[in-house]
Structure 1
Amino acid sequence: MVDAYIALGANLGDPARQLDAAVDALALLPESRLIAVSDYYRSAPVGYADQPDFHNAVARVTTTLAAPALLDALLGIETGLGRHRSFRNAPRTLDLDLLLYGDATLHLPQLNVPHPRMHERAFVLLPLLEIAPDVVIPGFGPAKDGLAAVAGQAIARIPGSGRRP
């Protein structure tokens, strides 16, 4: 079994319900077990200011799926919950990103692990550290070491949110 961390994000429709549906789908992943889900956070979009704020979270699963198979399953969940890819960084009903896959470093055509910008995003680091305060990002170091660099990014925990397995 490998620990994998998955970022969840949505900013179209009812983002909290989209994240709830994604968590339900993660709990049904084959050869996997949902271990933890952070609270939900509200954050400003990165790169495009003319779209709604995102709701974000991070989930931890243990899995025997290979990283590409896990990514395929995540993309299937996105599609099943209405994701359409119109342009890079477009508003979306759901985005699932494989952040970490154990301590692996992978550079495949369809997948880079660890996620190449995860240490630059408060909407990833804060929920990740909530459920895994000592997690290490291969090639970067302890995730908590990235907090100072993202301190100016607008993000807020949504009280009473999130789902626990």
Structure 2
Amino acid sequence: MIGVISVVIAGIITGNHILFLAPVVYLVSLRDRDLGLVAYLIFALYSGDRISPADMYTYEGLVTSLAFAGSMVLLLDDGLRGKVKPGRLELLVLPFMLLGIIVPEAFIAGAVFYFALRFRIDVRVVAVLGTAAATFFLLRGFLGGLGSVPNQVAVLAGFAIFLAVLTMLRGNLKKVDSFRWK
């Protein structure tokens, strides 16, 4: 349930009113998981097209992008779990998310806290993320001149793919047979 709430709050933070339709996607996923994944894909693509920061490497652009991306991952997690009743962890994170309406950094802190506890992130992942954050912090004066927004998105997407591959190589993900033919 925290995913639906976080997407609505991200809609307030980013000014993207399309994100207020997140409860519809969640309700569809409660009814039928496969149809919910299709609805999520359409929703993510359509709402992602409406988020357009002027510069991904500026502080405001990065906060907007992180708020949107984090909330969409939480919505996907909610849709896959299909659980309606909020747990203790979700109730613990909810004040940070709500404070994010006033201070967007609190929203991101709440999302990171939720990710760390829910997905059991260990020290190696934190070290890689900390190194990346320190690099972006140290190079913040030079990052604005690296080209247009699509080029900047490509750089950040490449970094995200690197982290995903690193996580898969570590074996942190459950092995599940998807789309198995009978």
Under a length normalisation based on structure 2, what TM-score does the superposition of the two structures give?
A: 0.30
Q: Whose strand fraction is larger, Structure 1's or Structure 2's?
A: 1
Q: Whose helix fraction is larger, Structure 1's or Structure 2's?
A: 2
- Between 1 and 2, higher relative CO (CA 8 Å, sep ≥ 6) is seen in 1
Look at both structures and tell me which one has the larger radius of gyration over its CA atoms: 2
Under a length normalisation based on structure 1, what TM-score does the superposition of the two structures give?
A: 0.32
